[in-house]
Amino acid sequence: MMDKRLQILFSGLTLQNPVIPASGTYGYGLEFAELYDINCLGALSIKGTTVEPRHGNLTPRIAECEAGLLNSVGLQNPGVEEVKKTILPQLRQVYHQPIIANISGFSIDDYVYLTEAMSEEEQVEIIEVNISCPNVHNGGMSFGVDPLSAATITKAVKAVATKPVFVKLSPNVTDIVAIAKACEEAGADGLCLINTLLGMRIDIARRSAVLNNRYGGMSGPQIFPLALRMVNQVANATSLPIIGCGGVSSAKDVIEMMMAGAHAVEIGSANLIDPFVCKKIIEELPELMDRLKIENLTDIIGIIK
């Protein structure tokens, strides 16, 4: 049953609650739909889609850490045509809440193409632009590490999007506020942060990096305080709605993220530990709100100035 106290409004959207599985940690929701009714979710951010199908990087591409993991999956996905033709129709059968289309490109043309393709999908309510990808026309440097290229992508995507555009920021920068402001000025409708942090593990017996790719994206509870700090900085420096992400694994973490400035919260690696975690958090929120004397979740968004 829907609990109005959990309802969140932003960018002309109403989410029944702020809990969203993060891109790449929930596939397209289909396996999870076999475990429980995924219509309890606020929204669902699907695996990062690219123009062409991708097999991803060579294994090993997951390294465990004390409180999280590193991944170098490398955007494995069947490509936008297959996602539209086969996967989204399957998802529609079992899921009727908003879809967030996470898109990943290697050139501006890629992002524009993907935005047009995903905007056509009725159930897609937000285009989430992953700018952590390498720009093949700029020596492989990530689009997300400099304000100018982040703004260029945002403008190009906004010119063709018919759905709200949320730019997903990389934390691998010295000044995330400068990038966030550049996206805001370029017309972004919202921001999502953070993506993974670049990390490394070494197998000391084999004397080699654990990941075949050497470096990989760090996620999980170990990045939560850092993500929270960045969400708070960006929330206080822009007026855009923010989807907070990074290390969230409990209802308490969701409340913390929202107090820091997030309108909604994405949950990533926690799904890999407990596939029921999103459902559990949604169920736990009302009781925790009672304990904290929170009437409606919207009341706490960004209260930490």
Give the nearest distance from C-beta 207 to ligand FMN in angstroms.
26
CA distance 157 to 189: 11
Binding-site member from 13, 15, 22, 186 for ligand FMN (CB under 6 A) = 22
Tell me the pairing of strands 99-104 and 44-45.
parallel
Cis status, amide bond into 60, omega within 30 of 0: yes
Binding-site member from 16, 17, 71, 238 for ligand FMN (CB under 6 A) = 71
Q: Look up 40 and say whether it is catalytic.
A: no
The smaller minimum CB distance to ligand FMN, of residues 274 and 290, is found at: 274
Q: Active-site residue among 133, 183, 192, 245?
A: 133
Query: Rule CB under 6 A: is residue 50 a binding residue for ligand FMN?
Result: no
Binding-site member from 16, 102, 149, 170 for ligand FMN (CB under 6 A) = 102
Query: Rule CB under 6 A: is residue 130 a binding residue for ligand FMN?
Result: yes
CA distance 90 to 75: 21
Query: Rule CB under 6 A: is residue 171 a binding residue for ligand FMN?
Result: no
Give the nearest distance from C-beta 293 to ligand FMN in angstroms.
27
Helical axes 224-237 vs 176-185, angle rounded to 10° = 40
Binding-site member from 115, 247, 255, 264 for ligand FMN (CB under 6 A) = 247
Binding-site member from 47, 158, 201, 263 for ligand FMN (CB under 6 A) = 47
Query: Rule CB under 6 A: is residue 75 a binding residue for ligand FMN?
Result: yes
Query: Rule CB under 6 A: is residue 168 a binding residue for ligand FMN?
Result: yes
Binding-site member from 18, 29, 42, 48 for ligand FMN (CB under 6 A) = 48
Query: Rule CB under 6 A: is residue 223 a binding residue for ligand FMN?
Result: yes
Residues engaged in binding ligand FMN (CB under 6 A): 22-25, 47-48, 71, 73, 75, 102, 130, 168, 195-196, 219-220, 223, 245-248, 267-270
Catalytic residue positions, numbered: 133
